[in-house]
Structure 1
Amino acid sequence: MKNNEFEILESNFNVDKYVDLAIQYGLMLIKAALILIIGLWLIKRMVRAIEKVFTKADVDETLRPFLLTIIDVLLKVVLIIAVVGFLGVQTSSFVAVLGAAGLAVGLALQGSLSNLAGGVIILLLKPFKVGEAIDFNGMAGTVKEIQIFHTIIFTFDNKRIIVPNAQLANSTITNITRNEIRRLDMEFSVAYGSDIDQVKAVITELISNDERFHKDPVPFIRLIKMADSSLNFVVRVWVNTSDYWPCYFDLNENTYKAFNQKGISIPFPQLDVHLKQA
């Protein structure tokens, strides 16, 4: 009987020990969860505060979201390491495991890393910035955001295109709006027999009366080609980049109206057929 009583007491002691351990580690896990939740909340507030600082300091709009994302990721990594350390895990060992896991993930995600490197190159060299219009592989649109791995472009008909940064960093990009002024090239055709000087004078007057067209460099208006059924005139004039398309359409319409008023014929393809009687 004594042996049985001793075994029962020993069993009760072990149960109490496990209960105490469960309570101890349970409380520790709860505290770690609270630290994690509060830490994530603080990080969110900190990132918002840093964003406001960036806005007040007039940090480049292109660089801003990239830096905020990196800061957010780094703070979360530090928080996770702190929580793991609170649970009693050796942080040095955890960092080593994290580094090994990072290496394995890096090898598996080489494409993503190349996109990350592409994003860094874009931010350093600045071939384009947020708000600028670019042409890339036949796709034209306005840059809305440069993220760590991708760049978001809105086309002129408001389609959303997400382009990997590696492609943008290693391709030819036409920046449409970086320069303040652009040359507007147009071509007008008139019928054979038209007065060349009158045609040039009409176009020159239209350009001179519109303040959007730059007077320096001097507009260039010359006969460029004697085509099959028309005389073709080339017009080269400089305008502000923001006025490019309005000037293009207005000059087209106004030239047509002016030619009609001055009696200048606009040709159309025609074919003369001669019948020979046998």
Structure 2
Amino acid sequence: MTEMLAAKVTEAETSAPVATGATDLVQPVQNVVDTVSDEVQQTTHVLSSIFQPMINKLPSLIFALIFLLFGLFVIRQIMRILRRASKHSNMDSIMASFLRSIIKIVLYMLLIVITLSILDVPMDSIVAVIASAGVAVGLALKDSLSNLAGGFIILFSKPLKEGDTVEVDGVTGKVESISILYTRMVTPDNITVYIPNGVVSGGKITNYTQKEIRRVDLFFGIAYENDIDQARKILMDVVKKAPEALEQPAPEVFVSGHDDSAVTLRLQVWGKNDQYWPLHYRLLEDVKKAFDENGISIPYPQMDVHLGETDEK
């Protein structure tokens, strides 16, 4: 019995240091586990605070994306319909193109606003952003806005259109197109000129081709010794032979002035607008030849100097 008690005491003394060492080893491991757990919980909380709103908004994002794609498709179809309708209407091609551009911009702006509202963006913020952007753009592009307004004035008042030959801001040429900001013209020597719409709408416009017919005015000087009636008959005969000249309104020849060196005759002949310059050049050449054949002289400017006797005193 005594030996058994001694053995148990010895076993207890032997096992006591082992329990103490195990406790010392487990405690640091437990601290590491607790620290890692805290970090994981903190990281999970941060990620949750970041991604949870996105997860909550995910249905709205998907719906907004679908609506945006559908809206783009609808706008494309609307513009296609408007393009076909303008081709079958009597609307001027330049005006139709201009209106389509404005409608397209307005539709895109509405689509963006509606898409933002689907995402629960406050309308007050949208309106404030649009207003601020409008003020900034208005200050930066005040000249462009003037040209934009000029484009509207040109298209609705129609002082000129595509294909017209006009004189604007000292430039004469044929109108090729009227865009939102500029009017494009091509001069007779094939130079392209872009004139701001604000200048076009606010300046003087001379439209040479708006009317179907146009009058050619030419001046011819004959010597004082020549017969006016004969010269008038020669001019009328030349006009009758010109294929570009119209019989109605009837051509006219009258004396327009008694100049220093010649009697000036004014010839007025009507022709179609697209035949103005061929008729103009033909008459200049044919009248000169007819005058030469009939002895009608076109005098040079001259001055007669008379010398009188002077008193020697």
1:95-130 superposed Cα distances (whole Å, 9 cap, x missing partner): 342133213422443322222222222222211122
Q: Does 1:99 align with 2:102?
A: no
Give the equivalent residue in structure 1 for 2:161.
129
Q: 2:280 pairs with 248, 251, 265, which one?
A: 248
Q: Residues 173-192 of structure 1: matches in 2 within 5 Å?
A: 173-192=205-224
User: In 1, distance between residues paired with 2:85 and 2:183?
Assistant: 24
Secondary structure in 2 matching 1:202: helix
Give the equivalent residue in structure 1 for 2:251.
219
Deviation at 1:49, TM superposition (A): 4.0
Structure 1 residues 35-44 or 149-158, which shifts more?
Answer: 35-44
Deviation at 1:252, TM superposition (A): 0.6
Give the equivalent residue in structure 2 for 1:14.
45
1:115-161 superposed Cα distances (whole Å, 9 cap, x missing partner): 22222222222111222111123211122222222222222222222
Q: 2:193 pairs with 138, 154, 161, which one?
A: 161
Counterpart of 1:190 in structure 2: which amino acid?
I
Q: 1:207 pairs with 224, 239, 246, which one?
A: 239
Q: 1:193 pairs with 222, 225, 228, which one?
A: 225
8 Å CA contact 2:256, 2:266 repeated in 1? yes
1:202-243 superposed Cα distances (whole Å, 9 cap, x missing partner): 111111233432333332212333333333211112222221
Structure 1 residues 249-258 or 163-172, which shifts more?
Answer: 163-172
Counterpart of 1:143 in structure 2: which amino acid?
V
Give the equivalent residue in structure 2 for 1:228.
260
When Rg is computed on C-alpha atoms for both structures, the one with the higher figure is 2
Give the equivalent residue in structure 1 for 2:20.
none
User: In 2, distance between residues paired with 1:272 and 1:111?
Assistant: 59
Counterpart of 2:240 in structure 1: which amino acid?
S
User: In 1, distance between residues paired with 2:101 and 2:79?
Assistant: 9
User: In 2, distance between residues paired with 1:223 and 1:57?
Assistant: 50
| Identity fraction in percent | 35
Counterpart of 1:255 in structure 2: which amino acid?
V
User: In 2, distance between residues paired with 1:39 and 1:157?
Assistant: 46
Q: What is the Cα-based RMSD across aligned positions, in Å?
A: 3.3
User: In 1, distance between residues paired with 2:60 and 2:288?
Assistant: 82
Give the equivalent residue in structure 1 for 2:19.
none
Task: Please report the TM-score for the alignment, with normalisation by the length of structure 2.
Answer: 0.75
Give the equivalent residue in structure 1 for 2:88.
56
Larger helix proportion of the pair:
2
Q: Which runs of 5+ in 2 are unaligned?
A: 1-30
User: In 2, distance between residues paired with 1:253 and 1:43?
Assistant: 59
Structure 1 residues 94-103 or 184-193, which shifts more?
Answer: 94-103
Counterpart of 1:79 in structure 2: which amino acid?
L
Q: Which runs of 5+ in 1 are unaligned?
A: none
User: In 2, distance between residues paired with 1:166 and 1:35?
Assistant: 39
User: In 2, distance between residues paired with 1:9 and 1:137?
Assistant: 75
Q: How many pairs does the alignment contain? A: 278
Deviation at 1:178, TM superposition (A): 0.9
